[in-house]
Structure 1
């Protein structure tokens, strides 16, 4: 079959149209597919070639889709069984009120890192945060900064769809990207705690009435901490076998390379049995798949855009532009992640779009695949929390804060994301 070639103008037009459609609240999946179709026509493709571009692009993301479907089992168990909430409560209780901001940031970081979506992680920890804030007299702005910043840090070291997409976009194992994001994540938590502690008495406080309502609604029977840890510990240990083997020089472990496709469902099933919830496994699977479905559909749309750009000479033009500007090609990865996440107001969608559209251009600048994945991933956390996305509103409702206060939090969230991006860029773009 003869290769299809379209102009860079068509590819860029398709990408911009997709972003415009998203901003006008059209479904991201339809926006991306329509953008790909329009871009193909603008770039000079006919009806037959346009279909070929779409099919080729969507086929290229099927590996990522299958892994995300598998991750849905794990996410369903952690979210629906109450395991994630138990972990959050224990962390906050153990550290106590005097280290409230640290405990809240760590709690959200850890339950996001073990596979819970960041909006759900904030929803889980928010009632705990409001209760702590009421006792200590802390502001809602500071509390949400702690939760969101911790969640962002956890999100770049988690087996969540965004990490799977970052790995898939550069043909890496998800455990490699998770492990490589650890240092930027640590800096993200440190900055989160410093920022939240600095403003903890500034802004609207949590009222006694709000806490009373939360206590009235909280009737959940949660599992014990030891049982709640089983699922994430199994997953983390198995995911780390190959990286640890490589670090220690043990060839057998390094070459084992058990894919997350097998590890996450296995950990989820064993964890469900340990929790005494084996009869609920099918329900957890269904719940997890329901949560993954929107992301899966977006990935298919992103694959269509990726097919459009692959068929064009846009990657070559981007590399030429970067070289002509005198800017190091290293910066293309974090910039792509930042811009795409800002356009879609979503970490996962931003990563999917950035890797699907610019992965080849980034690699063509000479950046190593792992470095590119980590920098793109971190970049997607800088301004992924804008008001045209769901995360902004979910977290605002979880903390019951005003629009003005939520916009104030957005500024601090960007500082956290920018910190992780700078650290990732220095570490993987210039040092390693």
Structure 2
């Protein structure tokens, strides 16, 4: 008979990991230490503890491979200037009259094509500050526009968080991207409405704030819009071939079951060649790999703590408790996403922890894997911008905001994430 850890020990292990992360211990060590504590308190001996941790690491290898593949695409989009080109094109084409929508949409698009949300904000921030000074839009409104747009794009992107949501529930990446499209559109609409209401509140953009533009690449050095679109368009088309074939009952397309592990690097290589940057592929790949290293390490740690929870009777106890309370089990998926991402102040880490720890319990309520993935994934963007995370400080620096000023945006950013998760919960939890 296999070992079953006690539920309270698994919770203590998870709590230890989160507390250590909040105390700024390296998240990987925090997660692994929490896993060890949970195992030992739960009744495992030293050998069994090691076996559980190894099993947890092995369980995330599929996600690791796809995350590393995504690094190639991210590296090309960021390092080549393709993402910058897309942002500038959107803002220029839409004009000053639709400035807030243009900035939010620009951040959404470049996040949706595989650029990390903090990097997306860094790319669009110089443009936003320039537009903000010209159109008298406050920094707070600009921050909400960029952050909200990034959140909307993040739930429909081939980024690590979406990959983790898909593989955590054993569904295709493209399916999660499609499922989260409507919640993403709702998030974009709420972003524009909230940012518009805030455009006269908060500090104005000053001339000295524009010194950030000096460090940006000159537009002449950026690729053309046509070549910049090659990588994201090719990736999206290849990822959607199978779902479109299934939807339209086209037998030929249903046979093209292309995994993100193949699609993302192929799209990146073709895109780099289209931009005549093939000679820089090695450096792009290295840059992408560097950005993914931390995510991969966290995946291993999250796999360990996830294995502790799935090896315990916690999922069964959760199902029993929720059924006894009369609360719909549908709410477990979004709440898990909100709590784990809020605790770690990271979308990716939050999704990884939530799926690894609670996907079994969510499925135990009869919720479909795709519905669980969509609700948990959108839940993770509600509180991923809290001050103990990297994103909070990156965006503060990008927008030339003090910590107190940056903190004023937290509530409004949560409204955007809340709109997305409420939409997803209504769509997939009750219909």
How would you bin the TM-score normalised by the shorter chain?
over 0.9
Query: Per the alignment, in what secondary structure is the counterpart of residue 430 of structure 2?
Result: helix
Matches within 5 A, 1:373-392: 373-392=373-392
1:58-83 per-residue CA deviation (whole Å, 9 max, x = no partner) reads 10110000000011100000000000
Matches within 5 A, 1:121-200: 121-200=120-199
Residues of 2 paired with 1:265 and 1:362: CA distance? 33
Per-residue deviation, 1:217: 2.9
Query: Per the alignment, in what secondary structure is the counterpart of residue 2 of structure 2?
Result: coil
1:233-265 per-residue CA deviation (whole Å, 9 max, x = no partner) reads 100100110111111011331232100000000
Residues of 2 paired with 1:131 and 1:31: CA distance? 41
What is residue 248 of structure 2 aligned with on the other side?
Answer: 248
What is residue 74 of structure 2 aligned with on the other side?
Answer: 75
Matches within 5 A, 1:214-363: 214-220=212-218, 221-363=221-363
Residues of 2 paired with 1:105 and 1:169: CA distance? 29
Query: Per the alignment, in what secondary structure is the counterpart of residue 183 of structure 2?
Result: helix
Matches within 5 A, 1:15-94: 15-94=14-93
What is residue 394 of structure 1 aligned with on the other side?
Answer: 394
What is residue 13 of structure 2 aligned with on the other side?
Answer: 14
Query: Per the alignment, in what secondary structure is the counterpart of residue 288 of structure 2?
Result: helix
What is residue 367 of structure 1 aligned with on the other side?
Answer: 367
Per-residue deviation, 1:210: 2.2
Query: Per the alignment, in what secondary structure is the counterpart of residue 65 of structure 2?
Result: helix
In structure 2, the CA distance between the partners of 1:36 and 1:253, relative to structure 1 (3 Å rule), is same
Per-residue deviation, 1:47: 0.5
Residues of 2 paired with 1:5 and 1:323: CA distance? 22
The farther-off stretch of 193-202 and 244-253 is: 244-253
1:340-398 per-residue CA deviation (whole Å, 9 max, x = no partner) reads 00000000000000000011011001110000000000000111110000000000000
Residues of 2 paired with 1:277 and 1:217: CA distance? 22
In structure 2, the CA distance between the partners of 1:217 and 1:306, relative to structure 1 (3 Å rule), is closer
What is residue 107 of structure 2 aligned with on the other side?
Answer: 108
The farther-off stretch of 404-413 and 147-156 is: 404-413
Q: Say what the alpha-carbon RMSD is for the aligned residues.
A: 0.8
Residues of 1 paired with 2:14 and 2:101: CA distance? 40
Residues of 2 paired with 1:66 and 1:219: CA distance? 32
Per-residue deviation, 1:284: 0.5
Residues of 2 paired with 1:17 and 1:208: CA distance? 46
Per-residue deviation, 1:203: 1.1
What is residue 4 of structure 1 aligned with on the other side?
Answer: 3
1:278-325 per-residue CA deviation (whole Å, 9 max, x = no partner) reads 110011111001000101000100100111112111100011111111
1:126-182 per-residue CA deviation (whole Å, 9 max, x = no partner) reads 000000000001100000000000000000000000000000100111111011100
Per-residue deviation, 1:46: 0.2
What is residue 410 of structure 2 aligned with on the other side?
Answer: 410
Query: Per the alignment, in what secondary structure is the counterpart of residue 188 of structure 1?
Result: helix
Report the TM-score when normalising by structure 1: 0.98
Per-residue deviation, 1:208: 1.8
Residues of 2 paired with 1:52 and 1:258: CA distance? 33
Per-residue deviation, 1:10: 1.4
Residues of 2 paired with 1:10 and 1:138: CA distance? 51
Alignment of 1:422 onto 2:398: no
Residues of 1 paired with 2:416 and 2:266: CA distance? 34
Give unpaired runs (5+ residues) of structure 2. Answer: none
Per-residue deviation, 1:402: 2.1
Residues of 2 paired with 1:252 and 1:369: CA distance? 26
What is residue 209 of structure 1 aligned with on the other side?
Answer: 208
Give unpaired runs (5+ residues) of structure 1. Answer: none
Query: Per the alignment, in what secondary structure is the counterpart of residue 157 of structure 1?
Result: coil
Residues of 1 paired with 2:189 and 2:408: CA distance? 19
Q: Give aligned pairs, total.
A: 429
Query: Per the alignment, in what secondary structure is the counterpart of residue 300 of structure 1?
Result: helix
